[in-house]
A and B are shown apart, each in its own frame.
Chain A
Amino acid sequence: MTGTAAAPPSVPAVRVPRRRGTEAVLIVVAVLLSVYGYCDVGLAKNGTVPPGAAGYGAGLGVLALLAHLAVRFRAPYADPLLLPIAVLLNGLGLVLIYRLDLETPGDEAAPTQLVWSTVGVALFIGVVLVLRDHRVLQRYAYICVVAALVLMIVPIFFPAVNGARIWIRAGGLSIQPGEFAKILLAIFFASYLSANRSALAYTGRTVWKLTKLQLPTGRALGPIVAIWLLSVGVLVLERDLGTSLLFFGLFVILLYVATGRIGWIAVGLVLAGVGAFAVGSLEPHVHGRVEDWLHPFASIDAGEGPNQLAQSLFAFAAGGMLGTGLGLGHSILIGFAAKSDFILATAGEELGLAGLSAIFLLYALLVERGYRAGLALRDSFGRLLAVGLASIVALQVFVIAGGVMGLIPLTGMAMPFLAQGGSSVVTNWIIVALLIRVSDSARSQPVGAVGAAA
């Protein structure tokens, strides 16, 4: 691990363009779009540009500028799309939360969210400045997993909020430690798997010669079973189906990327299926979610009025192709969690299928950029880390978007950057910071030196 920061000067320097100018232009566009949305909400609701528009735009602009400077200074080869996408999603999230605040006077979430966004960007800048090489993280793999376990276990000792024990509440501050655990686990998985790939890939017996399906041996199976138990434990003790699904999906994806063995996917799917079925039929909270998914209008037929999922579907349907326009929908009818888990319904109603598709594509682009960085990197840990972080975003978007739109059972989870929730927005800024770091490493590698680092 020598000379990583300063590339060997002997190699003919054919370097990719830095594209920092592109990033700056895109950030300006992202900030302007957010300010436009903010003004649009005010004009639609009150007929005037909101008094805080200038301050809001300036605040978001300064945050984005500082983040951009940090990248320009310490990660000059980073992918130019990552930061603008994060700024746009965060800005849009603030607009949507501000818009919903207008329906709930006395319960304003946007100012708090802006504070958390600032903390997130500060941590982003900190990570970009301090972490000069992502491979350093590999050394802290076991500290990461211990910290992750602690973060996941602590909320069990705090009172449940809305059925899930995933919160720590202290002094008016709510923290969801499970959010931070995602990153720590991704680091641990990437590190563990890059170190143990051989054992996991080339042991086991062939059960079905024709298809070459090899099942892993018991010793190698140990870790995956441990992770599976952890996921089920999270599910049962914290009643947090989404996080459980996310951890398990993340591990199976990284296992497959590390070993290339379909057998792991098969084992993973079987374990996930067994776990999901058992918990889905035994645990009442989860069972209720599955019932709601299968019969979203059952509560209407029972005369109890529409439940949240039904209200969410109504909101999406009301949006149609082009949406009602910002500020003109009625997604507040969803009630509780309209600003957090169900924030996408507001986007769907007021921006329509067109706006919703654009948001999905922004996430897809973010994820694709993560995978691209993973593909370009030469070190195993970096590849797995990039894939893992991008997959966290992808899985999270799918699980919550699929949940609020009736594609899969609803699980409480935050839409990255959009949803109200400090822990989530901070975590996502750190994820983007790490992706910036690995993409900088990937794109600053000298061209034509493939294999040299192997």
Chain B
Amino acid sequence: MTIPRALGLARPGSATIRHVAAFCALLLIALLVNATRVQVVQSGSLDDNPANRRQAIARFGQPRGDIMVDGRPVTGSRDTGEQLRHERTYRNGPLYAPVTGYASQVYGTTLLENAEDDILSGTDPMLAPLPLWNDVSRTRNPGGQVRTTIRAAAQQAAYAGLGGKKGAVAAVEPSTGKILALVSTPSYDPERLSGTSASVARSWASLNASADKPMLNRAIRQTYPPGSTFKVVTAAAALDSGTVTDLDADTKSPAPYTLPGTSTRLTNEVEGCKNASLRYAFEWSCNTVFAKLGADTGLSDMLGTAENFGFNDGGLKIPSSVAASNFDTSMDSAQLALSSIGQYDTRATPLQMAMVAAAVANGGSVESPQLVDETTTDDGDVVRKTGTSSLHRAMNPATAMQLRELMTGVVEEGTGGNAAIPGATVGGKTGTAQHGIDNSGTPYAWFISWAQKSGEAQPSVAVAVVVEDAAADRGDISGGGSAAPVAKAVMEAVLAGS
């Protein structure tokens, strides 16, 4: 073989080895660039991928901070040593479930566990001893504490008062908006949802399937037709707008009352409503008088007053969000008349009706309801303190004084006698709300009230109770019968503690 390049072929060329080395260098660069892509560029989105368990592992890697009632924890933490290590425990879970919600390994968080999750799980940057400390040290702070405004005695009184019945209680301090009790029954133990075992999945399925809806927080997430308790709002609108000026004057109301523009006749369950005074009509809950009063006051004033009490506000947070209570914004006179006695499309959460009672007790001003007093670090240093803030002025102070008189009359002379407390001034309003197709459903019993201890400057508690007791005899359901004793127990508990 005579090959021109024979000498060059003596050894495999150095150039080709260098080419191969350069090729390997390219592979190395590709690996490094790709590593930068995964570990730096896409790092954040991969960390946040819901299927990535690392955040959950870190989250449950330390005991969760506690939720406190009256300075005592109502929650706890159990170290299981498993992958999602610390499980939430609850002391008296069913009693406080509408306050705490659950903190599950599998199903996330609700209510305070959800709203204050950053504090409880230790991720809130305010918990860090120094700004950016956690970013530098790659550590997590111990979970902080959430101190609630709940009074244990009031909460227990409400829970015991409702007993086995379906219903809800919301109690607030009128001057501050602090929520003193928040109960929903039937309730459940949130601890059943802590952990990752099969029993957790079974609990979740059965709680969701239950016809009683134990996980529904009726006090803030369920709206009911408020029935006659809404007459407080109607009375406030009528007095503020000047439709009525004298509580004891003849209201010139027919009974039965034919709804404007229709042939529908509205009747009363009590006697003496024809041409009754506002005082009599309020004390004995005359539907005819208040339906006509609402229609006379007009949509604009009725709507304005209702919204100043807090109706139609979907943005209320305590800090969990509260379902919007409804008062329709466009109605004809007949619909407005029905809405004014808490029927038609008017709906309210128990918390909203507690705010109505509180507004009367607080001179017409609605304070922003709050469930959290303050949040602290695990050693008690305050992180945030919730201040009192006024939400709206629902009515003039003079109107509020008149309504206090009317509501006191309900308890002292009218339908609310069951709520009377010796040694205290109590104002209230009963309600029985029809619902269902052709009002076929079991009526809801309502009672809203406030109480002022003798010798104190202002009422210290306002409460709303709703009982949707399907088991009771239809005739027995009235706010005065089923709901007022519950409200009384709650008010007594608050008055005893203050």
Contacts and interface: CB of A to CB of B under 8 A. Distances in A.
B46 A256 contact: no
Interface in B20-39: 20-21, 23-25, 27-28, 30-32, 34-36, 38-39
A253 B39 contact: no
19 contacts: A257-B13, A258-B16, A260-B12, A260-B15, A260-B16, A314-B49, A316-B38, A318-B54, A319-B39, A353-B40, A360-B28, A360-B31, A367-B24, A371-B17, A398-B27, A405-B34, A405-B35, A406-B38, A407-B30
Interface stretch (A45-53, A284-292, A379-387): A379-387
Given A314-B52, A398-B27, A256 B38 contact: no
Nearest to B138: A324
B31 A330 contact: no
Contacts of B49: 297, 300, 306, 310, 314
Question: How would you classify the secondary structure of chain A's contact residues: helix, strand, loop or mixed?
Answer: helix
Interface stretch (B3-11, B202-210, B286-294): B3-11
Contact of B16 (A257, A357, A405, A454): A257
Most A CB atoms within 10 A — which of B31, B40, B42?
B31
A364 B28 contact: yes
Most A CB atoms within 10 A — which of B10, B20, B53?
B20
B43 interface: yes
Nearest to B19: A256
3 A-B pairs with least C-beta separation: A317-B46, A300-B51, A306-B51
A131 to B, nearest CB: 21
Contact of B35 (A324, A356, A383): A356
B30 A353 contact: no
A229 B42 CA distance: 40
Interface string B103-129: 000000000000000000000000000
Interface residues of B, number: 42
Interface of B: 1, 3, 9-21, 23-25, 27-28, 30-32, 34-36, 38-40, 42-44, 46-47, 49-54, 57, 138
B51 A310 contact: yes
A216 interface: no
Nearest to A404: B38
Contacts, number: 139
A321 interface: yes
A357 B35 contact: yes
Nearest to A360: B31
Contacts of A330: 53-54, 57
Contact of B39 (A305, A352, A371, A397): A352
A198 B9 contact: yes
Contact of A253 (B10, B15, B20): B20
Contact of B34 (A317, A367, A384, A407): A407
A92 interface: no
A331 to B, nearest CB: 10
A320 B3 CA distance: 57
Given A398-B27, A407-B31, A333 B53 contact: yes
Contacts of B10: 454
Nearest to A352: B39
A454 B31 CA distance: 39
A201 interface: yes
Nearest to A406: B38
Given A317-B47, A333-B53, A357 B12 contact: no
Given A360-B32, A398-B28, 16 more contacts: A197-B9, A256-B19, A257-B17, A300-B51, A314-B46, A314-B51, A316-B38, A317-B47, A318-B46, A321-B39, A330-B57, A371-B21, A383-B12, A384-B12, A402-B34, A407-B30
A397 B28 CA distance: 9
Contacts of A202: 1, 3
A344 B23 CA distance: 22
Contact of A297 (B13, B20, B40, B51): B51
A368 interface: yes
Contacts of B31: 360, 397-398, 401-402, 405, 407
A394 interface: yes
Given A256-B16, A454-B10, A318 B138 contact: no
Interface in A342-388: 348, 352-353, 356-357, 360, 364, 367-368, 371, 374-375, 378-380, 383-384, 387
Nearest to B52: A314
A306 B52 contact: yes
A43 B39 CA distance: 25
B35 A316 contact: yes
Interface string A255-293: 011101000000000000000000000000000000000
A327 B19 CA distance: 40
B28 A387 contact: no
A386 B11 CA distance: 13
B374 to A, nearest CB: 34
